[in-house]
Structure 1
Amino acid sequence: MSSPMNAFTLENEEGLRLRGIEFGATLTSLTLPVAGEQREVLLGCADEAYASQQVWLGAVAGRFANRIGGAELVRGDERWSLDANQAPHCLHGGSDGFHRRTWQIREQEADRVRLALLSRAGDQGFPGNVRVTLEYRLEQRDLVVEFRASTDAPTPVSLTSHAYFNLDGHADDDHVRSDIRHHAIRLNADRFLPTDQSGLPLTMAPVEGPFDLRRERLMGQEWLSHHQQQQAGGYDHAFVLNGPEQAWAARVVSGDKRLAMEVYTNQPSLQFYSGNWLANTPNRSGRLHRDLDGFCLEAQQLPDSPNRPELGDPWLLPGQTYRHQTRYRFIAAD
């Protein structure tokens, strides 16, 4: 019988090296050559600590990423109560969501791995049996994350990778060299979802102030100058992307300007999270991460959309296939 911490490692000729474990289909490390050195761009912890950390570090969030208001689903005359793990809401599929499941490795090659998971009807309160496959693969300088899912009863599905990036890498003592506010970011989004104090989205709004990321700016520029940032402790908001086929959804440049990352996705939104609640999460050397040590760009359906048609339709029906592809492209300076 395999251990939930069974690891997989992928490598390619471009020098990308990805490591993960079956528990949560978690990505534990991604290194790539930058300025003649292998740079670690993912936050991580010791394998045995993933089961106890509480920040979805590198894991898959599901069955529904982000928040569902009131931890309840309503469809027609039917209602389902979900696990209210961030009371009163359901966050990332519940306390025993996909991030805490042992996925099964089905296929593995040098530069790709395919994992599978069966989520049975009633899992965290969700209806329908859902079968999921996930492929991680390395294509030249890209990390590709690809999900497929099917169901035997209507159920909302929104899966995402909750990887935390810091493009400046790590020092020898496994502390990140700088927090994320030194990174520059650009998002291809004219609208975003402000939130209430519990993190639940309000009405869609035009981007403004530090939320207008259509032109490159430092993540830390005008830091906490906006009431939405003050409330969340930074960024923790869904940005509604400008169409599914845009050239890229996001572009981030490291503080030292030696590495850029572009994000491409077929999902309607990116949750930009600046790692506001990372403090006291262990790192790989057993020390502790600090708030803002890493950022997430989580491609997904819009939060709270299962019960709010104006935010889209994330319901997967029998006979349909959920398809999600997100591509993280890394561009090192010459």
Structure 2
Amino acid sequence: MMILRTAALATLAIASVAPAVEVAEFGKTPGGEMTHVYTLENKSGMKVKLLDLGATLMAAEVPDKEGKTADVLFGFDDPAKYLSDDNQYFGNVVGRYGNRIAKGKFTLDGKEYTLATNNPPNHLHGGGDRALSKVVWKGEKSDADNSVTFSYTSPDGEEGYPGELKAQVTYTLTDDNAVRIEYEATTDKPTVLNLTNHAYFNLSGAGSPTINDHVVTLYADHYTPVDDTLITTGEIAKVEGTALDFREPHAIGDRVDSFGDAEGAGYDHNFVLNKTPSDVEGLHKAATVKDPKSGRVLTVLTDQPGVQFYGGNFLKGQTGKDGKTYAHRSGFCLETQHYPDSPNKPDFPSVVLRPGETYTHTCVYAFSAE
């Protein structure tokens, strides 16, 4: 069942003395729309930058084991780049349906809906020019909470999805160096929804040449196998005995070659999360990633049933912020989510949102160093 709520989840503690959230113009899109960048800073000196274009997590300056900070997120210095072919959803909120829907079709309440097949032959991350990653959201900052809330109303039929969808995403930077992302949405017609963030991380610093030395733990005994177009088969399989078994820590590069050397080969799988307890109310651990070089650690918490672990197999050497290059397998994603192609898989947890219900989703990216 989709997670619903009538009251907000408890938030992490925020110091009242946090610096004010700064807002600045970022530049105009090719269509002439002005975009804005929001900068959050906590009392520990960590900084996060957010962009209203795509409700994007644009930068995170995180301390290492020696207290030196580096930006660990991929992104661009120009709004036009976020709308170009160079952008592979760097830090964007993706949807309405994050991940893939087979052949761009699904049936809801007896009616078939057709979406863009922008990842032939399938639909990916919400579709074309009006996907949520490509529109400018309205931003509203809260100095008291050290947060920014982005809101967007997607009209009925936009990118083929039914219902007028009112969505908002709130980013909060806590004083213990966690980025908390809270999604909320309502609809006036039955629809399907699966929002997530597509941030790319390199804990050595964005632009470092590889993430193959990063050590990953995934709190998942099972995954959802896919066919040769990366659509889930409907099976839920054990990770035991496969290169997808990250129940114990493994470096990303240890077994990645087992996927072969075809274009795009590597880690790009949805994991079925165990319900492990955590220190944050209502959430469970999805993943822990450690960088032995810098000592930075990323812990991912969520209330969603799955997480997509992607190892940057399609990165092509794009030039990003400050002229840094994003090479093949130099960044990883951990996208908390419902399972791919759930609208066509009745045995998977439901992604249907109906009028009168509220969709919610919480993800925490918590940083530390050791």
Q: TM-score range by the shorter chain?
A: over 0.9
Match of 2:148 in 1: 113
**1: CA distance, partners of 2:109 / 2:221:** 32
Does 1:151 pair with 2:187?
yes
Deviation sequence 1:87-133 (CA, Å, 0-9, x none): 22110010221000100013332721011011111111000010001
Does 1:250 pair with 2:287?
yes
Match of 2:203 in 1: 167
Does 1:210 pair with 2:243?
yes
**1: CA distance, partners of 2:174 / 2:326:** 30
**2: CA distance, partners of 1:244 / 1:130:** 32
For 1:9, give the aligned amino acid. Answer: T
Structure 1 residues 244 and 317: CA distance shift in structure 2, 3 A: farther
**2: CA distance, partners of 1:272 / 1:143:** 19
Structure 1 residues 164 and 154: CA distance shift in structure 2, 3 A: same
Shift, 1:226, TM fit: 4.2
Shift, 1:230, TM fit: 5.9
Aligned counterparts, 1:215-234, within 5 A: 215-226=248-259, 232-234=264-266
**1: CA distance, partners of 2:87 / 2:118:** 11
SS at match of 2:76: coil
Aligned counterparts, 1:45-64, within 5 A: 45-48=76-79, 49-52=81-84, 53-64=86-97
After TM superposition, the structure 1 stretch with the greater mean CA deviation from structure 2, 184-193 or 27-36, is: 27-36
| Percentage of pairs with the same residue | 35
After TM superposition, the structure 1 stretch with the greater mean CA deviation from structure 2, 108-117 or 80-89, is: 108-117
**1: CA distance, partners of 2:41 / 2:231:** 39
For 2:138, give the aligned amino acid. Answer: Q
Shift, 1:245, TM fit: 4.9
SS at match of 2:229: coil
Match of 1:44 in 2: 75
For 1:278, give the aligned amino acid. Answer: L
**1: CA distance, partners of 2:205 / 2:297:** 12
Deviation sequence 1:203-254 (CA, Å, 0-9, x none): 2211132200100010111222146x96851101100101275652100001
Gaps of 5+ in 2: 1-24, 279-283
CA-based RMSD of the aligned residues comes to: 1.9
SS at match of 1:42: coil
For 1:283, give the aligned amino acid. Answer: G
Does 1:103 pair with 2:137?
yes
Shift, 1:157, TM fit: 0.7
Aligned residue among 342, 348, 356 for 1:311: 348
Shift, 1:193, TM fit: 1.4
Shift, 1:255, TM fit: 3.3
Shift, 1:328, TM fit: 0.8
Match of 2:160 in 1: 125
Shift, 1:22, TM fit: 0.9
For 2:100, give the aligned amino acid. Answer: R
**2: CA distance, partners of 1:259 / 1:288:** 21
For 1:199, give the aligned amino acid. Answer: L
Deviation sequence 1:42-73 (CA, Å, 0-9, x none): 11222232121330011111100000011012
**2: CA distance, partners of 1:257 / 1:293:** 15
Deviation sequence 1:236-289 (CA, Å, 0-9, x none): 110010127565210000131511111000011000000111113221134542
Please, what TM-score do these two structures have when normalized by structure 2?
0.84
For 1:106, give the aligned amino acid. Answer: E
